[in-house]
Amino acid sequence: MIVASLVVFVGVIRLVLRHRPGGLPIAMVLALAVFVVGGGMLYGYHGARAGWPWWLFYPPPMLVTVLAPPIVLRMRGRETALYLLLSFLSAPLIHVLFAFFLGWTEYMPFLRIPSLAEILA
């Protein structure tokens, strides 16, 4: 799931900043992706496994995902708006797909999504 989320995150950043003159600082984007996606998912995973309430392990990574890229990459108004729209659409989509196809529900504990295996059983 982390790899899929990393690919989507980098894709969203590249799409949002595609018109930037001079291109993207790819090392910065990759470092940001590892911190935001990898760090956020590990934090959320361990928080869920530790039995924390969802409001302790879900919002902090979400806030980092929303705030860090526009700040670190110095996004302009339109870039920030597009980034926020795409991040709010892509993150739940990834969670829903993994919950449905693989039964991984710990990342969205407040939204019950039956897995394909449960539906077919």
For the stretch 96-107, pLDDT in tens is 888 888 887 766
Angstrom distance (rounded) from CA 118 to CA 88: 27
Rounded CA-CA distance 38/44 in Å is 10
Evaluate if residue 68 carries a pLDDT over 90: yes
Give the Cα separation of 104 and 72 in Å (integer).
Answer: 31
Secondary structure (3-state) at 23 = coil
- Tell me, what's the pLDDT at 108? 64
What per-residue confidence (pLDDT) applies to 71? 96
pLDDT at 28: 92
State residue 110's pLDDT score.
65
Which residues neighbour 4 within 8 Å (Cβ) at sequence distance 6 or greater?
94, 98
The whole-number pLDDT of residue 70 equals: 97
Answer whether residue 75 shows pLDDT above 90. Answer: yes
- pLDDT (average), residues 54-69: 90
pLDDT surpasses 70 at 25: yes
Which pLDDT does position 118 carry in this prediction? Answer: 84
On whether the pTM is more than 0.75, the answer is yes
User: CA 62 to CA 41: how far, in whole Å?
Assistant: 10
